[in-house]
Homo-oligomer: A and B are copies of this chain.
Amino acid sequence: MGFWKSLFSTTDTTTSPKPAELNSSTASAVTIGNSRIFFSTDREIDLYELEELCDAVGWSRRPLRKVKKAIQHSFLVVSMWEQRGTQRRLVGFSRATSDHAFNATIWDVVVHPDFQGKGLGKALMRQMIKRLRSEDISNITLFADPHVIDFYRGLGFMPDPEGIKGMFWYPD
């Protein structure tokens, strides 16, 4: 089992959702309705549940065998869960590859549409950054689709720093 961290630590319930507190270095005293949001680094994720989450944001399906392998060989996996009573629901996911020393690259950042616009994507990314930094990784990188560049910029990511270009290889 990986760590479980409650972003929202009070037991207060509010009838209207409050925006999530974004400073994930302090577990914030917020709940969303009757639910709490947790983060986990456990890799034992139900692949069908993950597929459902990726379906919800319109990603192309990928062979579960390869998804399983990719999770196993990622340096870090952070998943985000909604807990209501005894029920847990996967609402976000992200992972990073790394050489365990200098560089990490973040892939597959996804937040369920029902949970977007509440600061949870930022909270998820801050969990990623915090944990990569705690492992002494100095160079945290990613490849951002055009519509999320500003999202990542707001988290401290810089596009093309010093003219460095992200490049993808395409077969001839």
A40: Cβ under 8 A from any B Cβ: no
Which range contains the number of A residues in contact with the other chain? 35 or more
Identical copies in the complex: 2
Contacts of A152 in B (CB 8 A): 167
Q: Are A107's CB and B99's CB within 8 A?
A: yes
Supposing A101-B70, A156-B171 touch, asked if A163 and B146 sit within 8 A by C-beta, the answer is: yes
Contacts of A146 in B (CB 8 A): 162-165
By Cβ-Cβ distance, the 8 closest A-B pairs, closest first, are A166-B166, A146-B163, A70-B101, A140-B169, A157-B167, A70-B99, A73-B100, A69-B101
Given contacts A157-B167, A157-B168, 10 further A-B pairs with CB under 8 A are A71-B99, A97-B103, A133-B171, A140-B169, A146-B164, A149-B167, A157-B170, A158-B169, A160-B166, A166-B167
